[in-house]
Amino acid sequence: MGTYKIISIGGSIIIPPSGFDTDFLKKFRDLIAGLVKKGDKFILVIGGGATCRAYQHAAKQVVQMANDELDWLGIKTTIFNAEFVRVLFKDLAYKEIITNPTKKIKTNKSVIIAAGWKPGCSTDYDAVLLAQTYGAREVINASNISYIYTADPKQDPQAQPLPELTWKEMKNIIGDKWTPGANFPFDPKAVKKAAALGLVVKFVKGTELKEFEKSLKGLAYQGSVICK
């Protein structure tokens, strides 16, 4: 069996603000399980998403919170989200949630579920570290957007999608400041590390399962890619 495929999954794909989409979750599980039967292996890094931001927002309304405290709230949310995903995969998945992406585990399981690790970054950074730890050359970022844009399309109607871009261009779009709960397409620390490692990172809308499957199989898909 080959190298694990590293997938950073936005928490709002798993638990959207509108509530659980069990039909999607079943199809998502069936897709991964079907590829496992064909010999693929996956590390799924689960984010905090809207659930994380809801906890952080509520805490800030009650008491003044330091950034590290907000990050730890987010990390704990990713762990619970990850545990939810782990039980969906039952015996296909490794028995524990991985929270240290620099430590390689020994297992014959084809699915490993990971969560957040330390303050100061998102699970995107953890996914990049997992790629380094397990020798993967690619990370797939499955979120609620299909493309990286020249600017935030919610704020700038002139923003254009970028099917392909460089790490330098990505750095210019994202900036270098981390904010707890920020909704980056890929967090600044992850961008810096992935660029240093020379990783390929694919961005695809996780709920578009046909496009997501294409990205997993190395086929042309609707989304963005950073490859240099």
Express each pLDDT in 7-60 by its tens digit. Answer: 999 998 999 988 899 999 999 999 999 999 999 999 999 999 899 999 999 999
Buried b vs exposed e over 139-157: b needs ≥16 C-beta within 10 Å?
bbbbbbbbbbbbeeeeeee
Whole-number pLDDT of residue 179: 73
Per-residue model confidence as pLDDT tens digits over 160-216: 999 999 999 999 888 877 777 566 788 889 999 999 999 999 999 999 999 999 999
Whole-number pLDDT of residue 1: 47
Angle between helices 22-37 and 67-89 (to 10 degrees): 70
Domain 5-226: what homologous superfamily? Acetylglutamate kinase-like (3.40.1160.10)
d(CA 191, CA 176): 9
pTM (two decimals): 0.94
80 has pLDDT over 60: yes
Per-residue model confidence as pLDDT tens digits over 130-153: 999 999 999 999 998 899 998 888
Q: Where are the domains of the chain?
A: 5-226
Mean pLDDT in residue range 109-134: 95
Residues in the chain, overall count:
228
Query: Cβ(151)–Cβ(141) under 8 Å?
Result: no
Mean pLDDT in residue range 107-123: 95
d(CA 98, CA 115): 6
